[in-house]
Structure formats: structure tokens, C-alpha cells
Amino acid sequence: MAQRREELVIEALDIHKSFGDLEILKGISLQVRRGEVVVLIGASGSGKTTFIRCINLLEEIQSGRIRVNGNPMGYRELADGSLVRDSERNIARQRRDIGMVFQRFNLFPHMTALENIIEAPIHVLGVSRDAALAQAHGLLSRVGLADKAAHYPSMLSGGQQQRVAIARALAMKPQAMLFDEPTSALDPETVGEVLQVMKELAEEGMTMVIVTHEMGFAREVADRVVVLDQGELIEQGPPEQIFTRPSHPRTQAFLSRVL
């Protein structure tokens, strides 16, 4: 049965992306429903990170269409169905609906954890400083860092920095969250604390698209696992199906190497 459009937060249709002569994405289509957790897996270089960066236009696509909450991402649709590039102001407004958590945290090093979190709500959303501070303290508690508000990133472990980055993204009240291998830069002992926060977000119904090499985590939290290989979406389905009964030979080969 076709998904009702109002249930869809993210729609990607026939996405193509190249860097020079190298085609990275070869016609990927994906729909993400409200409250769904979609996990992208596949070998390094398969296009996972490029794809989620295309969703919020950190990478510009060559062809295809992306919609967020039913609206073309980065473009305006004309009466004849053609697209024209939207203004940077409107693109920035659309990006507010999509939180992004990167591999390398990207915190402002000269700001405390608290200051990192309140920066965008105050200067982008126009939230009052008092309201932003109250929200930030609540978010730090939510990610288990209530006692780290005055700490600078250099004073925090990698796992703590990544949890601050998650809190910072949540401060914008996004409709969906994108995670680009959020544990790949962490020491093994801090991976679990970040994954726990992400599990709690999934349980709370946050719409999430996650690129990860943590197969156990993918199996536990995903509503749907999507397999990318050489720039193509080769298979998708419930975790139990993908991890125990993969149908595509390239999925079988990939999982045999990582499980």
C-alpha cells in the first residue's frame, strides 16, 4: 500500500551525485516515514555518507528530487513541474527541520557545552536567552551531561562531545535527525554512551536516518535496514530479514565480512 504523503518526512527520488567523473550515487530512492528509524549499512565508499549529506543539501545533487515534509529541498517547484534553485535563506530555513550529527562532533572549541547548545536557538530561531538556557540544561540532562555545562570541548571525552553535539541538534527541535557514523571517531569505551542516547531517541519516536558500522546497534534499533553498495540501494527490509535472510549476493558478502 502506498504511504500517505503526510506520513513522509523525507522523500528521495532517483538521486544521482558525482564528484567529477566519479559517480557516487546511481539513482537512489528512499522514503522515511514519521517516527521511523532507518539505518544505512554497506562497505566504506558505498555512498552512505554522501547520500545523507544530500538530504539536507550539504552536497548538491546532479539529478533527482528530495522532499522534506513534502517540500522540495533546496528548490522551488514551478507550475510545469520544473525546479529552480531556492534562495539560501529558504534553504537554511528548511535545514532547521533536519538535525545533523557528524563523525567529528563539529563543536565550537571556544564555547562551553552550554554555549554550543544555545547558539543556534538564539541566533537562528530567535529564542530568548533565558528560554534557550533552560532548554539547554534540560537537553544536557537528557544526554547524561548535566554536570558538564561549563566544560569546553577540549575538557570532554569524544563520547561526551558527541552527546553535546546530539543535544545541540535537538535544541533546534528538528523533524528528523541524520547521523553520519556518530561513533566511528570514538574510543571503544565511549561508543556505548552515545548509542544509548540514540536508542532513547528512537524509543521516543524521533525520525532518524543513521549511517553506522555498528551492526548490533542497527539490528536493535532499526525499523528498516537499507543496504548500499557501489552507489546503489541493493536491498532493504526489517533488521531480522536483512541480517538473517539477505537476498542480494552483495549483501550476503558484506555481512559475511562484518558479522
Instruction: For residue range 233-259, list pLDDT tens digits in order.
Output: 999 999 999 999 999 999 999 999 998
Cell of 139: 537537553
- Please, how many CA atoms are within 13 Å of residue 45, restricted to the half-sphere of its CB? 4
**Residues making up the chain, counted from first to last:** 259
Reported as a single tens digit per residue, the pLDDT across 41-70 is 999 999 999 999 999 889 988 889 999 988
- Please, how many CA atoms are within 13 Å of residue 236, restricted to the half-sphere of its CB? 17
| pLDDT tens-digit profile, the chain (259 residues) | 345 555 899 999 999 999 999 999 999 999 999 999 999 999 999 999 999 999 988 998 888 999 998 888 888 777 887 778 888 888 888 888 899 999 988 899 999 999 999 999 999 999 999 999 999 999 999 999 999 999 999 999 999 999 999 999 999 999 999 999 999 989 988 999 999 999 999 999 999 999 999 999 999 999 999 999 999 999 999 999 999 999 999 999 999 999 8
pTM for the predicted model, two decimal places? 0.92
The whole-number pLDDT of residue 95 equals 87
The whole-number pLDDT of residue 6 equals 57
The whole-number pLDDT of residue 156 equals 96
The whole-number pLDDT of residue 250 equals 96
The whole-number pLDDT of residue 1 equals 39
The whole-number pLDDT of residue 93 equals 85
